[in-house]
């Protein structure tokens, strides 16, 4: 009797980690139709929501892992206890189920799961999808069998205690979630779907469509930027329609606000068929998560990228810089700090990209 093949997938913390993992799981499943996938993620609502909307994993395990910083140092003992529990549970699952490999696409939970699996003799593959690897991935460098990345320049960052592990890096395409059928959508069909969803007949192929992608949790800065931009007297809002990923907590507010402004808009948080919106967009305004950037490049859409400013990481700036080098005709990168002072640069970029005068 042949032993059943198994795969462990590990991803948590954002759609940018989880969605690529699901794509990789589907690819493995296509080659192993009788195989079994176990998905490790976190108990965050968004993580559970995304994982639950797919049938790829036969079983999912959601671990609780608290966030902490130097200001909340008192949480450290609790976090260490949680990490130890995740490690122990993952080690037990690895010994019991003996997967052929573990694939990790990001998130702190990947650290104890991958270390436990490696201790149990399971090969570990890392997909680092940002231009510069994060802390968890850097910690896993010595234990990973292979590190896949879509950025050629990423290999130079794989150092651990002064030793280079660039030989473990392999260039691989970003694991996009869209099928070839995504390109077969007719604009009129998508417009009709939007009008049905919104209960109105306002969407039209004659207007310029702007897609704002702030991630499933939304981006407070992008949301505020768009609101201030549209409120400017010089902005030609009569010529545009909006599709806005604003985040679950902001849906009612922005739906009401667009209605007050008399702008045709569809506001959402997470949509597994977001390729429809990419397909009909004339311009995309977004952050610089690697997944979003490669999806935009996949559809060949004009975009304005505003990298997230964070105290702990500059990976979005690195992503924007790297992708702009590969696709200079598609991406315009703007600085958040400049836009916080004056939105004129954003307005000029939007009008230029939409060819509105």
**DSSP bridge partners of 185:** none
Examine the domain organization and report whether 219 and 312 are in the same domain: yes
What is the Cα–Cα distance from 219 to 285, expressed in whole angstroms?
11
pLDDT at 125: 96
Which residues does residue 171 pair with via DSSP β-bridges, in sequence order? 149
The 10 Å Cβ neighbour count of residue 55 is 8
- Residue 72: inside a domain: yes
Task: Of 210, 204, 40, give the one whose Cα is nearest residue 116.
Answer: 40
In a domain, 187, yes or no: yes
The verdict on residue 30 lying in a domain is yes
Inter-residue contact 79 to 96 (CB < 8 Å): no
pLDDT at 98: 96
Same domain, 198 and 338: yes
Kindly state whether residues 104 and 157 are assigned to the same domain.
yes
Q: What is the pLDDT of residue 324?
A: 85
How far is residue 148's CA from residue 129's CA, in Å, rounded to a whole number? Answer: 8
Alpha-carbon distance of 183 to 277, in angstroms, equals 11
Q: Where are the alpha helices (DSSP H) in the chain?
A: 15-31, 45-52, 76-97, 110-119, 135-140, 187-198, 220-231, 251-260, 275-280, 290-299, 315-326, 336-341, 344-354
**10-residue averages of pLDDT along the chain (357 residues):** 84 89 94 94 89 86 84 83 96 96 94 97 94 83 91 75 80 85 74 82 88 81 91 88 89 92 90 89 93 92 88 77 87 91 91 85
CB-CB contact of 8 with 109 (8 Å): no
HEC per residue, 89-101: HHHHHHHHHCCCE
| 28 and 139 belong to one structural domain | yes
The residue from 110, 141, 171 where one domain ends is 171
Q: And the tokens for 125?
A: 């593959």
Nearest to 315 by CA among 151, 165, 162: 151
* Nearest residue to 211 via CA among 271, 126, 158, 164: 271
Residue 219: both structure tokens together: 């981006």
Burial of residue 346, with CB atoms counted within 10 A of its CB: 0-12 exposed, 13-18 middle, 19 or more buried:
buried
| Predicted pLDDT of residue 72 | 75
Tell whether 128 and 212 lie within a shared domain: no
Does 176 fall in a domain? no
**Whether residue 230 sits in one domain with residue 327:** yes
Which residue range is the domain that position 221 belongs to?
A: 181-354
Q: Which of 171, 193, 214 is the last residue of a domain?
A: 171
Are 156 and 47 found together in one domain? Answer: yes
Residues 187 and 285 in one domain: yes
What does the block give as tokens for 282? 């004339």
Residue 291 lies in a domain: yes
Domain boundary among 138, 171, 204: 171
Q: H or E stretch including 242?
A: strand 240-245
Nearest in space to 276 (alpha carbons), one of 174, 208, 178: 178
Number of domains in the chain: 2
Note whether residue 329 is domain-resident: yes
Same domain, 142 and 229: no
φ, ψ (nearest 5 deg) of residue 172: -145, 145
Amino acid 250: pLDDT: 87
Same domain? 203 vs 321:
yes
Largest CA distance in the chain: 73
Phi, psi of 161 (to 5 degrees): 50, 40
Indicate if the alpha-carbon torsion angle 150, 155, 156, 161 is positive or negative.
Answer: positive
Q: Cα separation of 278 and 209, whole Å? A: 10
Residue 1 belongs to some domain of the structure: no
**In CATH, what number is assigned to the domain containing residue 190?**
3.40.50.2000
Same-domain check for residues 205 and 331:
yes
- In this structure, are 227 and 107 located in the same domain? no
* 5: CB partners within 8 A, 6+ apart: 32, 34, 35, 36, 100
Q: Is 209 domain-assigned? A: yes
Residue 131, pLDDT score: 86
């Amino acid at each position: 009797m042949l032993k059943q093949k198994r795969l462990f997938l590990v991803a948590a913390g954002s759609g940018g980690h989880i969605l690529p993992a699901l794509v990789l799981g589907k690819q493995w499943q296509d080659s192993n139709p009788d195989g079994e996938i176990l998905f490790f993620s976190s108990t965050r609502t968004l993580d559970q929501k995304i994982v639950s909307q797919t049938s790829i994993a036969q079983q999912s395990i959601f671990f609780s892992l608290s966030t902490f910083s130097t200001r909340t140092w008192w949480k450290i003992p609790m976090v260490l206890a949680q990490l130890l529990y995740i490690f122990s549970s993952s080690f037990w699952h690895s010994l019991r189920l003996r997967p052929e490999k573990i694939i990790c696409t990001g998130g702190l939970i990947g650290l104890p799961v991958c270390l436990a699996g490696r201790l149990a003799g399971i090969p570990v593959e890392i997909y680092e999808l940002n231009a510069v690897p994060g802390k968890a991935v850097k910690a896993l460098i010595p234990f990973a069998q292979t590190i896949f990345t879509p950025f050629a320049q990423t290999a130079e960052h794989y150092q651990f205690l002064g030793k280079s592990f660039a030989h473990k890096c392999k260039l691989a395409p970003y694991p996009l979630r869209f099928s070839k059928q995504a390109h077969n959508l007719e604009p009129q069909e998508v417009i009709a779907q939007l009008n049905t969803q919104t209960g109105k007949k306002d969407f039209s192929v004659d207007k310029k469509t702007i897609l704002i992608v702030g991630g499933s949790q939304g981006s407070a800065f992008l949301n505020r930027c768009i609101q201030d931009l549209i409120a400017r007297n010089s902005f030609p809002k009569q010529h545009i329609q909006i599709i806005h990923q604003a985040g679950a907590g902001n849906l009612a507010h922005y739906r009401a606000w667009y209605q007050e402004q008399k702008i045709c808009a569809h506001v959402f948080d997470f949509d597994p068929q977001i390729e429809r919106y990419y397909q009909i967009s004339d311009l995309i305004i977004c952050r610089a998560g690697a997944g979003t950037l490669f999806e935009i490049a996949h559809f060949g859409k004009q975009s304005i990228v505003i990298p997230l400013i964070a105290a702990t990481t500059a990976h979005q700036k690195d992503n924007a810089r790297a992708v702009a080098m590969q696709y200079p005709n598609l991406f315009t990168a703007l600085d958040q700090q400049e836009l916080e002072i004056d939105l004129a640069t954003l307005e000029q970029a939007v009008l230029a990209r939409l060819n509105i005068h």
